[in-house]
Amino acid sequence: MELPFNLTIIEKCHISPPPDSIIPPISLPLTFLDIPWLFHPSNQTLFFFQKPPPKTTITTVINHLKQSLSLTLHHFHPLAGNLSVPPPPAEPYILYKKGDSVSLTIAETNTNSNHLSSHNPRNLTNLYSLLPKLISPCLSRDTHVTNVLPLLAIQITVFGDSGFCIGITVQHVAADERTLDQFMRCWTSICKSLLLNKDSFFGFKFSSTTPWFDRSIILDTFSLKSTFLKKWWNQMNSYKNSHEETKKDNNMVQSTFVLKLSDINMIKNHILVKCRMINEDPPIHLSPYVSACSYIWICLLKVGEIIDTKDGCQYLGFNAGGITRLGYDVPSNYFGNCIGFGRCKGLENELLSENGVVFAAKCIGKEIKRLDKDVLGGGENWISDWNELNIRILGSPKVDSYGLDFGWGKVVKVEKISSDFNYHGNKVNVISLSGSREFNGGMEIGVVLSRDRMKAFSSVFNDGLRNLN
């Protein structure tokens, strides 16, 4: 029988860049690609690791993680700073000054790591307890003073079997998934250097891609910044904090489903065959990402996850990388958000028909091709478009978090956690995508549903694959 989940906080501390670091204060303005994320809750990710090797104690692990985190913040010092949100009409900005730090929590639980890091349904409340908390910008309700909000918080949780988990909560306005991945790679590289007793911690290989902080590289050709700021000033007091209730709902679980490369190819071939059978042109873009997202979209609809369909349509949203789509050079190590937004609109009756996956793929493929040509097209509507979503897709299989290794073994499970409510408090299904740890070219899909719906979804997902085979 599974033990009741209990978590105890052992230590709370703050980690700063090394005292001898010569880092001048830095103030980073928000670009038009950052500001929409003021409306959005923090990014939250869990990285699970196995028990460290013999003769390595958890105390040693934690000490090395603390020391290497401090050294990492020498490179990523803005993350030790704060988001300053002054009263309107002043603009929010990121500020780092000497003495700023990142909150670090050390916790322990009686639960074994192999349960919470499995693919099976896991209590969402328990997963949230492994994450540190940050106040979201959209919860800063006092418009008469400057609100100062930390950008990053970290929690290290040690399990009963000596496995451990690193929970990362970062304000999305400060960093997209690409920037967070660079931070994690820097941290793991420095930690490995410490374990090898290297002395030159600041000259290791990551230095060739030191973060690029110059915001002038992002060109606001369509004056989107002023549009977004006006929406922020008008709505910053109207956020509904409904997602906090979901965190406390013990009936909600998160499960991981795996699509192997052969499964994805099978879905793709099924779509192409169906197109020929019903005399439909094939999707103009049918990548593994499109095939996987189309299948998941239809599976969710089949188990009754239809939300707010007043116009008879379903809306699916996803992030689109901007580094290669903006039409001008942006360094790959640019620090900040460089992503656009895609929204697909599908007719409910078509998506729920026998050929629903075909219509889903055509919707998603068409939107991706549009973004390839004009990633900022319709950008002025991004914030309002978010509020129409029924399903939102997080993450990308292109980010290889399973390669991360602090020196005691690679990540055994990555879990992305996100609010399932939008800015106005309306429910939206969130699914997360990442590359598979076990299958080359495969994908892991994180799904959050009630326990009963999760059983139904699992049946639809697995039966659907068997029927395609």
SS (H, E, C) 375-391: CCCCHHHHHHHHCCCCE
Contact 176, 339 (CB under 8 A): yes
User: Given the DSSP bridges, would you call strands 391-394 and 313-321 parallel, antiparallel or unpaired?
Assistant: parallel
The Cα 274–Cα 438 span in angstroms is 30
Contact 159, 130 (CB under 8 A): no
Answer yes or no: 405 catalytic. Answer: yes
Nearest to 268 by CA among 254, 286, 252, 281: 286
Max intra-chain CA distance, the chain: 69
The Cα 199–Cα 457 span in angstroms is 52
The Cα 348–Cα 300 span in angstroms is 12
**Residue matched to tokens 């599908």:** 346
Cα 117 to Cα 37, 123, 135, 428: the distances in Å are 28, 11, 26, 24
| Catalytic residue of the set 172, 176, 181, 270 | 172
Contact 289, 431 (CB under 8 A): no
| Catalytic residue of the set 220, 385, 400, 405 | 405
Alpha helices, DSSP H only, in 161-260?
177-195, 224-235, 243-247
**Residue matched to tokens 């960093």:** 175
Q: Would you state the structure tokens that stand for residue 241, as one six-digit string?
A: 């904090």
- Number of neighbouring beta carbons within 10 Å of residue 157: 26
Q: Would you state the structure tokens that stand for residue 35, as one six-digit string?
A: 């500001």
Answer yes or no: 77 catalytic. Answer: no
The Cα 295–Cα 302 span in angstroms is 11
Q: Which long-range contacts (CB under 8 A, 24 or more apart) does 416-419 make?
A: 416/43, 416/44, 416/45, 416/46, 416/446, 417/44, 417/45, 417/46, 417/124, 417/127, 417/128, 417/131, 417/254, 418/41, 418/43, 418/44, 418/392, 418/394, 419/41, 419/243, 419/246
User: Given the DSSP bridges, would you call strands 102-109 and 152-158 parallel, antiparallel or unpaired?
Assistant: parallel
Active site residues per annotation: 172, 405
